[in-house]
Structure 1
Amino acid sequence: MELRRPTAEDKDRVLEMIAEFAAADSYMHGGMGATWKIADSYEDWLDMVQQQEKGRRVPAGWVPSIQFLSFDKEGQVLGFLALRPVLNEKTIIEGGHIGYSIRPSKRRQGLAKEQLALGLIEARTAGLDRVLITCDEANEGSRRTILAAGGVYENTIDRSERYWIDLD
């Protein structure tokens, strides 16, 4: 698996994955859901995520983030991952430093664990030594992914479970 920032060349593959999420009625976690809802087009979304790294065009209540896509060896987009180096009142409860999702047809194959492991490397690169990751209390798959990455449960606030991972 490769984790990298999205480009204009990824458009068709990303749109195909977004269509899969929509057909499955599955929310796109990892920063994608909030930004895609307000984007006018793929190009607008791409500009938005590039601007968000600089602290501009950030959706209300969110924080600057770095958007990544994960790819398999054949170049298929597998999922989204957002790295938020700084937290605010909203993201400290729901969202945390890293949000992620795997496309519906590729779930239950260990890909979320692999994607999160790559996201933790990016978090270290961004200077973080500890990250908060949250999941809905009903999301057993995400909970298992977080625990497998070394997540330590802190508490649950408003149905959002909060886990910390030390990056030593």
Structure 2
Amino acid sequence: MPHLIAPTGRLRTTWLEAHAEWGPGVHEDGFGLLPTDEVDSPAGFAAWAARLAEDSARCTYRWIVEDDQVLGGIALRHESNDVVQRAGHIGYGIRPSARRRGLATWALGQMVDEARGLGMHRVLVVCEAGNLQSAKTIERQGGIRDDVGGSELADAWRYWITLGEPQALIPGSS
């Protein structure tokens, strides 16, 4: 059964394996990884993890883990700012070999509950235009597509999730 954990150096090797699956230059949503982060060396990885921990008042970062294997990442941005308008309150990514198991739907549900616990009333979730799997994931958690946006957002679909009662979804369920 999967669970969400805070980023940890203990799983550095398996995180690097997940990172390698995306390939070079591909953005991995949910990990808080910036182009300036150097994660291949132990010191660089530790510095990146420390930056994420320092940012915890503004963003909750979690890894999706099962049997000590990093399967993906998810982040909840607590504030509404320019980054949120572009990338959403919640961003997530599942490593290619772990997709189509319901992990993203489950993890998104967990972070929606986290947002509710923080007193947030609704959250914005953004996915790449045409990414039907991600769109279905967001819709399963109550996301309603918002077609309002400027031309700079033409390559993205925006969904609002209004936070109501908690929902429990189990990986693999629809």
TM-score bucket of the superposed structures, by smaller chain: 0.7 to 0.9
TM-score normalised by structure 1 residue count: 0.84
1:120 maps to 112
State, as a whole percentage, how many aligned pairs show the same letter. 33
Preserved contact between residue 69 and residue 78 of structure 1 (Cα < 8 Å): yes
Please provide the CA RMSD for this pair.
1.7
Cα distance in 2 between the residues matched to 1:13 and 1:89: 32
Q: In the aligned structure 2, how far is the partner of 1:31 from the partner of 1:6?
A: 9
TM-score (norm 2): 0.81
- The one-letter amino acid of 1:86's match is E
1:116-156 deviation digits (Å, cap 9, x = unpaired):
11111211222212111111112111111001111011115
Question: Pick from 80, 91, 98: which aligns with 1:87?
Answer: 80
Which blocks of at least 5 consecutive residues in structure 1 are unaligned?
55-63
The answer for the alignment partner of 2:98 in structure 1 is 106
Whole-Å Cα distance in 1 between the matches of residues 83 and 37 of structure 2? 21
CA distance in 1 between counterparts of 2:26 and 2:37 reads 18
Q: Show structure 2 runs of 5+ residues with no match.
A: 39-43, 165-174
2:143 to 129, 137, 151: 151
2:132 aligned residue (126, 140, 153): 140
Give the C-alpha shift of residue 114 in structure 1: 1.0
In structure 2, the partner of 1:131 is 123
Asked if the contact 1:26/1:104 (under 8 Å) is kept, the reply is: no
The one-letter amino acid paired with 1:17 is: A
Q: Does the 8 Å CA contact 1:82/1:98 hold for their aligned counterparts?
A: yes
Does residue 1:163 correspond to 2:159, yes or no?
Answer: yes
CA distance in 1, matches of 2:37, 2:27: 16
How many residue pairs were aligned? 154
Correspondence for 1:76 among 69, 72, 85: 69
Partner of 2:82, secondary structure, is coil
Is 1:97 equivalent to 2:89 in the alignment? yes
Distance change in 2, residues 1:8/1:33 (3 Å): closer
